[in-house]
Amino acid sequence: MFEMYLSTVDEKSALICGLSDFIWDHAEVPYTEYESAGEFCRLLEKEGFTVTRGAADIPTAFTATFGDGAPHIGVLAEYDALSGLSQEANVTEKKYKEGPDIGHGCGHNLFAGGSFGAVLAIKSFIEDTGKGKVTLFGCPAEEGGNGKVYMARAGVFTGVDAVVSWHPEKMYMPRTRPALALISKIYSFTGVASHAGGSPHLGRSALDAVELMNVGANFLREHMPLTCRVHYAIIDTGGEAPNIVQSHAKVKYMVRAETLDDVLELSARVDRIAQGAALMTDTTFETKFVSACSNLITIPTLQKTALEAMNDLPFPVPTEEELSFGKALRATMPLTSKEKQETAIYADRVLPLAPPAAHGGSTDTSDVSWNTPTVQMHIGNWVKGTPGHSWQAVTQGKSSYAHKSMLYASKAVAGTALRLISDPSLIEKAKAEHFEQTQGKYVCPIPADVNPPIPQK
């Protein structure tokens, strides 16, 4: 239907793949994506977009807009990477890459490139028809930094009629799974140091408090809804000397639930467990807020529109060389019994819309979805069975199949957006579905006095 505009992606494919590879080569952790965001903004300006840097007072966040018509469509892009995942590209073994120990284990370099291609195609439609307006939102710090939540709190997404997004995966389908609301905190316990052999009665162990808190949290699991999640990691054990009563210890918690109200209630219960642990050990504790995000709002009208756009495109077909690489890489993966039975190396079709099912993960895209109708597509850039946040995901980030499936993502996002611009009734249906679920109210889960944890340069 929109072939002449989607062909922009093919015409600009070298530029799109070049941006993706640049971001892969310059992998940067959350809130430090200066090289990645800088190159992204430079290319967008060169292509005629009006770029505003420093969105929500975050140095590596930006907006890039073209057109002044209606409706106003947003496209998301991420470009942050993960620490501890240095890896060479296009190899079938774990191989450290020279430089910082950082890698794109979640495919955000592809995410950025694919979204860049999408807005280039949408721009060509706006230039030709005079209809619509598109904004690419450069969103940093998805990996634990919840950059989009701060952007939502600052009103960055206000006035956008709908957002179309995607994410690298190992299947092709519009996302129907909801995501859980999340709150993360650090609990710091303070006790009294003492000689563990000579005068243990004078000590008050902060590590005991952490351990008792974790025991209490584990007993809590039997008395919370099955869809909730509680995770923890001890981040300070109080030292390495067992003959000293630990005077300090810290534990980081992530609490997830189906709604923001539910996660606030569950987090308060975890707070009371910490209070109980402090009472039992005669210690004190402080709580530090780390991050939070809302639950995801899904919009059936947008999902159906995205599915139509995906099915209207030629499907990426791997070459024999790509299949050989994928088969060798797949042999290194810890597959489930179901995945072991799969014969296809790469996903070979677009899956139909699935009924919403319980999902234990969280995403800061959820807070975008509370502000405007939002849809996200899964695009199979990776070999089937690839674990997220793995060296196998990193090594595929510059592969030829990842490139061609990323270009498919550009067209799928653009095709969805062009359908929405061309048929305003779809936007109205999406807005009605959105209001039914949100009642037009958004409460940011991050307190107003908490700022993004932006490192000093």
Question: And the tokens for 19?
Answer: 């941006």
Rounded distance between C-alpha atoms, residue 271 and residue 445, angstroms: 16
Q: Which pLDDT value is given to residue 452?
A: 95
Residue type, 221: R
Q: How far apart are CA 245 and CA 242, in angstroms?
A: 7
Residue 83, number of CB atoms within 10 A of its CB: 14
Which is nearest to 316 in space by CA: 417, 416, 415, 400? Answer: 400
Collect all residues with Cβ–Cβ distance below 8 Å to 83 and sequence separation of at least 6: 29, 101, 102
Indicate where the chain has its CATH 3.30.70.360 domain(s): 181-292
Q: How many CB atoms lie within 10 A of CB 246?
A: 26
The pLDDT value recorded for residue 356 is: 83
Instruction: Name the fold adopted by 181-292.
Output: Alpha-Beta Plaits (3.30.70)
The verdict on whether omega for the bond into residue 71 sits within 30 degrees of 0, i.e. cis, is yes
Taking the C-alpha atoms of residue 427 and residue 430, their distance in angstroms, rounded to an integer, is 5
| pLDDT tens, the chain, 457 aa long | 799 999 999 999 999 999 999 999 999 999 999 999 999 999 999 999 999 999 999 999 999 999 999 999 999 999 999 999 999 999 999 999 999 999 999 999 999 999 999 999 999 999 999 999 999 999 999 998 999 999 999 999 999 999 999 999 999 999 999 899 999 999 999 999 999 999 999 999 999 999 999 999 999 999 999 999 999 999 999 999 999 999 999 999 999 999 999 999 999 999 999 999 999 999 999 999 999 999 999 999 999 999 999 999 999 999 999 999 999 999 999 998 888 888 899 999 999 999 887 678 899 999 999 999 999 999 999 999 999 999 999 999 999 999 999 999 999 999 999 999 999 999 999 999 999 999 999 999 999 999 999 998 7
CATH code that applies to domain 3-178+296-438: 3.40.630.10
Q: By C-alpha distance, which of 143, 120, 161 is closest to 60? A: 143
Question: Looking at the chain, which residues constitute the CATH 3.40.630.10 domain(s)?
Answer: 3-178+296-438
Backbone angles phi, psi at 102, to 5 degrees: -135, 145
Q: Take residue 175 and report the two structure tokens written for it.
A: 């996302």
Q: Can you read off the two tokens belonging to residue 84?
A: 């501890």
Question: Residue 371 in 3-state DSSP?
Answer: helix
CA distance 416 to 133: 14
3-state secondary structure of 385: coil
Task: Report pLDDT for 358.
Answer: 67
Beta-carbon count within 10 A of 321 CB: 10
CB 406 within 8 A of CB 113: yes
